[in-house]
Structure 1
């Protein structure tokens, strides 16, 4: 990587698909403070955009993301520095769930520690069959507490704790079986699978996608009764949208809908 290259590469397409590529290949895309800041800035800008419909997060080089930059952490070992780092990382993870666009992780290589956390916090994830996953902090005396937040919300408790307590790697198919990722494909088919998944979302109403993603994460934190009350209100509001009317009319008329909402 050239020192003048950006830490996050951004590629925007006319159809509304934007790819953000972590660009620290020589450091296995470890999440330095600067890389976290660069990715946060891109996500904030995208969240406010009406032209971006789907986001893909990828990694340059051999790895998807190897987690926090351990060298940087050891060079700034004070508690205040650690608190600031983990708060910054947590805000980034929350941004992914709060932004209106679906975010897809594209995992072509290893995803470890906070890199595995990043996978868990993306809305969807597609991995090459050669990808591997671990929350390996325990191997250096550090329990992966912040990655545990995402893991515990994707995997069953025992599966999550096994990863956290052992630090062992799991392969892509096991990650899929445990609920960490959605799809596994051969490495040379990874981009085509991302295209299929993103294309399916891009074909839907932007209004419905935006409303639905926000509803999904909010209701997860509610009790069952409150969740149903909230979901009913959101769905009633969704039904008032022009896109919903067009979609239902198109279905009944057996034609392709022409969505206009953003």
Structure 2
């Protein structure tokens, strides 16, 4: 059976591509299964330093495959196809020790924005549009709200999750959903620039920095300083830290580059 998600590895950068044009890269059971498999491959492959998540066509992801969501009332909530695996996929991306860049090739809706928000970085073309369309279908942006609300400004979250209004890429950048909105002709170069910067960082240092960016805001100021003082001392004396310092002093690239 043809895969709906492809993988490619070059120069330490793994590109994972959604490829289901007939349903606008919707989150079908097959696509979710392939995506989880590709993500696990990228996380386990030692050569992978950075993961880029993208898609074919003009739509990044249209959200849940609604044809698969029409279930019999007698079936339990846990049987809903997206409920079964989508949380694990967002968790894989969110907790990945390797940086994940979302290269949005175009529009995203609903569940597709859960993928966008789970990534560490998101770059979109200015032509892309966005919408949390769930409420207009009588459903709730439930699972995706976990990463999304950690990205969006509070007022913007109320505005767009509750109204379902469509907004553009410039607005998505303004409210924190994406990092950059760029002309389509600059999309690949912008993604490549981020990836190139990331592969220059120490793999362990990147993983730890990602974790502290994610977790530290929930720690008290005093406790945060205590934890970070210990972490700073540990990293300066680590093998990776010592290699980085030596490379800087000797004016050479570190071994991980």
TM-score past 0.5 threshold: yes
The answer to whether the aligner puts 1:63 opposite 2:59 as a matched pair is yes
Is 1:171 matched with 2:165?
no
For 2:137, the equivalent position in structure 1 comes to 140
Aligned to 1:102: 99
Q: Decide whether aligned partners of structure 1 residues 36 and 224 sit closer, same or farther in structure 2, where only a CA change above 3 A counts.
A: farther
Q: Any residues of structure 2 matched to 1:188-203 within 5 Å, and which?
A: 188-203=185-200
Residue 16 of structure 1 corresponds to 12
* Structure 2: 5+ residue stretches without partners: none
Cα distance 1:251–1:179, how it changes in 2: closer, same or farther (>3 A)? same
Structure 1 residues 245 and 76: CA distance shift in structure 2, 3 A: farther
Select which of 233, 236, 245 maps to 2:233: 236
Q: 1:84 to 1:67 in 2, by over 3 A?
A: closer
How far is 1:183 from its partner? 1.1
Of 51, 61, 67, which residue of structure 1 is paired with 2:47? 51
Partner of 2:148: 151
**Any unmatched runs of 5+ in structure 1?**
none
TM-score of the pair, normalised by structure 1: 0.90
Q: Matched residues in 2 for 1:243 and 1:82: separation?
A: 46
SS at match of 1:238: helix
Match of 1:222 in 2: 219
Q: TM-score, normalised by structure 2?
A: 0.92
SS at the partner of 1:145? coil
Aligned length: 256
SS of the residue corresponding to residue 71 of structure 1 reads: coil
Deviations 1:32-56 (A, max 9, x none): 1221121111112221222100000
Distance 2:13 2:164 in 1: 34
Distance in 1, Cα, partners of 2:79 & 2:219: 31
Task: Tell me how large the CA RMSD over aligned residues is.
Answer: 1.9
How big is the shift at 1:81? 4.2
